[in-house]
Amino acid sequence: MRSGVLTSVHAFATDPTRGVFILAILLLFIGGSLTLFAWRAPLLKQGGLFAPISREGALVLNNLFLVSACATVFIGTLYPLALEALTGEKISVGAPFFNATFVPLFVPLLIAMPFGPLLAWKRGDLLGVAQRLVGAAGIAAIAVAVIFAMEGGGPLLVPFAIGLALYVMAGALTEIVERTGLLKVPLATAFARGRGLPRSAWGATFAHFGLGITLLGVIGETQWSLERVAELKPGQSISIRRYDLHFDGVAARQGPNYRELAAHFTVRRHGDFVGVMEPAKRSFPSRGTATTQTALMTRGVSQLYLSLGDPNPDGSLAVRLYYKPLVLLIWFGAVVMVIGGALSLSDRRLRVGAPKPARSKAALSPAE
Amino acid sequence: MKRLCLIVAVLSLLALSPAIAVGPDEFLSDPALEARARALSKELRCMVCQNQSIDDSDAPLARDLRILVRERLQAGESDQQVINFLVARYGEFVLLRPRFSWHTALLWLGPVAVLLIGACGILVLARRGRADSDRATAARQKLTPAETARLSEILREREQ
């Protein structure tokens, strides 16, 4: 899976099953897109003209930012190699570098994103679109204020990030709300109009809305995650957010090819029983390796992770507990984006062959 | 991208289930100092498992470094002093976020450069495209010699 020339920023595939799966994904996407390009490249031709402020212009801007982000990954990955080859100097480029460079690239892109679908093709009206997005910006502003008050001050990053996510989501809904007249006409009329809208419009809305959902998940995970590390003896408890985890004890079990030491935790929320979590340490005697089985509990769109460290001589066990709020939204957002993509691919324009204008003209001409 | 980093972080958490990295015995009693120590650890590369920060790694060396960072912080050193000490010991390689200097200028400015060059390229192409189309329109409005000849012929026929 990996050559070892580059040290991966992330540890992906330590076992061949996952490695083959990731390889298959890479093959499908990279190979697929290159094949498509090779097949259809001759059909590429210069499109019509458009003003810089237009939907085409917005697509170009979008591509510009995404290509820059792609180039950042490329530079960040290969720069240390090149520097070492040229000067012998060794530097590291890790997650902090990518966080520092990606955020400034994505914030302007996300601010610009809701403008795209609202701009007309060929020549758009920026001021008009900005006026139509006032509602979305207002929702975002309210969210910033509410979150700021809830957090009791603190860093401004969190309220603004949440505001940005809500602005993206509300901005995505703006077009649908306007075109169906949802807030002005009776619900049934709006529903009928919504059914009449082209699927591509729904696709764009779903895809952009999904990105907003994912963004919320990212913010929750990075900014609101909690972590507790403790050494516990049976009978002791550890609490995180509103959850109390009571350590009931450990049990040794025999698996098909491993022995495991599983710890039993009872999870309560405000004193009410919620479930049990059983993190374990497994040892595989035949290979002399040990693995840690993290216990995972899903609560709504948030998750609790619990993993074990090594037991101490005094009978206590090191445990690490994480609370990851909104983390599942990252995946739900992706699912919504996929639905958006599927909807726009099933648009009438792509399902039903458009009548060829040349033929209809030829059919009409004898009647003159 | 932050999202990608994080998805992968979550994935690796689920998939690899790392053993305990920062041990409870290492924590400092002062929460402010501990928070600084955690933030610093996330910026420092583990020399053993090179794709992890010392905060994530459970290699013995990473543990030693975490303890070292905490000792230095407790001795009253600033974040910058701790980083300087580690760089003096292990070189720039230990920093996951390289410092800005002449040899990392291309790295830090590269993304900005790509964005600006791309934007300029698009503007130039758009302007050229418009100029081309203007020229094409102008050319279309001007008559070709054959058309001029045909036109004068028609006019002559009319006069007769």
The pLDDT value given to residue A356: 53
Same domain? B80 vs B111: no
In order of A253, A265, A304, A351, the CA distances from A277 in angstroms are: 16, 5, 9, 49
The pLDDT value given to residue A364: 42
B42 interfaces chain A, CB cutoff of 8 Å: yes
Q: Is A39 helix (H, G, I), strand (E, B) or coil?
A: helix
Question: Between B130 and B124, where is the model more confident?
Answer: B124
- Neighboring chain B residues of A222 at a CB cutoff of 8 Å: 2, 6
CB–CB contact A324 B10 (8 Å): yes
Asked whether residue B86 is assigned to any structural domain, the reply reads yes
- Neighboring chain B residues of A221 at a CB cutoff of 8 Å: 6, 10
CB–CB contact B111 A72 (8 Å): yes
Asked whether residue B51 is assigned to any structural domain, the reply reads yes
Q: How far is B21 from chain A (nearest CA, A)?
A: 9
Interface of A with B in 208-267 (CB under 8 A): 214-215, 218, 221-222, 229-231
- Neighboring chain A residues of B15 at a CB cutoff of 8 Å: 18
Question: Between A121 and A65, where is the model more confident?
Answer: A65
Inter-axis angle of helices A134-151 and A157-180, to 10 degrees? 150
Whether A193 shows a pLDDT value over 90: the answer reads no
The pLDDT value given to residue A211: 95
Cα separation, A182 vs A178, in Å, equals: 7
CB–CB contact B52 A11 (8 Å): yes
Total Cβ atoms within 10 A of residue A295: 24
The pLDDT value given to residue A14: 60
Residues B61-101: tens digit of each pLDDT: 888 888 889 888 888 888 889 999 988 988 888 888 888 88
**What residue in A sits closest to B14 (Cα-Cα)?**
A294
Asked whether residue B28 is assigned to any structural domain, the reply reads yes
B52 interfaces chain A, CB cutoff of 8 Å: yes
Same domain? B89 vs B150: no
Cα separation, A244 vs A238, in Å, equals: 6
- Neighboring chain B residues of A68 at a CB cutoff of 8 Å: 111, 114-115, 118
Q: How far is A117 from chain B (nearest CA, A)?
A: 20
Could you write out the three-class secondary structure of chain B?
A: CHHHHHHHHHHHHHHHCCCCCCCHHHCCCCHHHHHHHHHHHHCEECCCCCCCECCCCCCHHHHHHHHHHHHHHHCCCCHHHHHHHHHHHHCHHHECCCCCCCCCHHHHHHHHHHHHHHHHHHHHHHHHHHHHHHHHHHHHHCCCHHHHHHHHHHHHHHHC
Same domain? B125 vs B48: no
Whether A44 shows a pLDDT value over 70: the answer reads yes
Q: What is the percentage of chain B residues whose pLDDT exceeds 90?
A: 8
Residues ≥6 apart with Cβ < 8 Å to A266: A245, A246, A248, A273, A276
- Neighboring chain B residues of A229 at a CB cutoff of 8 Å: 20, 22-24, 27
The token pair that represents A117 in the structure block = 């679908």
Class of residue B93 by CB neighbours under 10 A (exposed 0-12, middle 13-18, buried 19+): middle
Q: Give the lowest-confidence range in A302-306, B22-26, B114-118.
A: B22-26
Asked whether residue B117 is assigned to any structural domain, the reply reads yes
User: Domain range holding B145?
Assistant: 105-159
Q: Label residue A355 by pLDDT band (50, 70, 90).
A: low
CB–CB contact A68 B97 (8 Å): no
Question: Between A19 and A277, where is the model more confident?
Answer: A277
Same domain? B88 vs B109: no
Torsion angles phi and psi, residue A175, rounded to 5: -65, -45
The token pair that represents A182 in the structure block = 């949802």
* Residue reference for tokens 């979550």: B10
Q: How far is A114 from chain B (nearest CA, A)?
A: 19
Question: Between A241 and A351, where is the model more confident?
Answer: A241
Query: CATH code at B7?
Result: 1.10.8.640
Choose among A297, A306, A292: nearest CA to A328: A297
Residues A137-159: tens digit of each pLDDT: 999 999 888 888 887 766 778 88
Residues ≥6 apart with Cβ < 8 Å to B50: A7
The token pair that represents A221 in the structure block = 């995970």
Asked whether residue B57 is assigned to any structural domain, the reply reads yes
B22 interfaces chain A, CB cutoff of 8 Å: yes
Same domain? B90 vs B136: no
Q: What is the ipTM of this complex?
A: 0.73
- Average of pLDDT values for A263-282? 91
The pLDDT value given to residue A322: 92
Q: What is the percentage of chain A residues whose pLDDT exceeds 90?
A: 35
Question: Between A264 and B24, where is the model more confident?
Answer: A264
Nearest CB among B9, B10, B24 relative to A318 is that of B24
Choose among A241, A230, A251, A250: nearest CA to A304: A241
The pLDDT value given to residue B19: 43
Asked whether residue B99 is assigned to any structural domain, the reply reads no
- Average of pLDDT values for A352-362? 52
The token pair that represents B19 in the structure block = 């053993």
- Average of pLDDT values for A187-205? 87
Last residue of a domain, one of B74, B94, B114: B94
- Average of pLDDT values for A233-251? 89
The token pair that represents A274 in the structure block = 């919620």
Same domain? B39 vs B112: no
The pLDDT value given to residue A11: 54
Q: Label residue B8 by pLDDT band (50, 70, 90).
A: very low
Same domain? B73 vs B116: no
Nearest 10 degrees: Cα torsion A358, A361, A363, A368: -160
- Average of pLDDT values for A253-263? 88
Query: What are the start-end ranges of the H helices in chain A?
Result: 16-26, 32-40, 55-87, 95-112, 115-118, 126-132, 134-151, 157-180, 187-196, 199-224, 329-345, 348-351, 357-364
CB–CB contact B106 A14 (8 Å): no
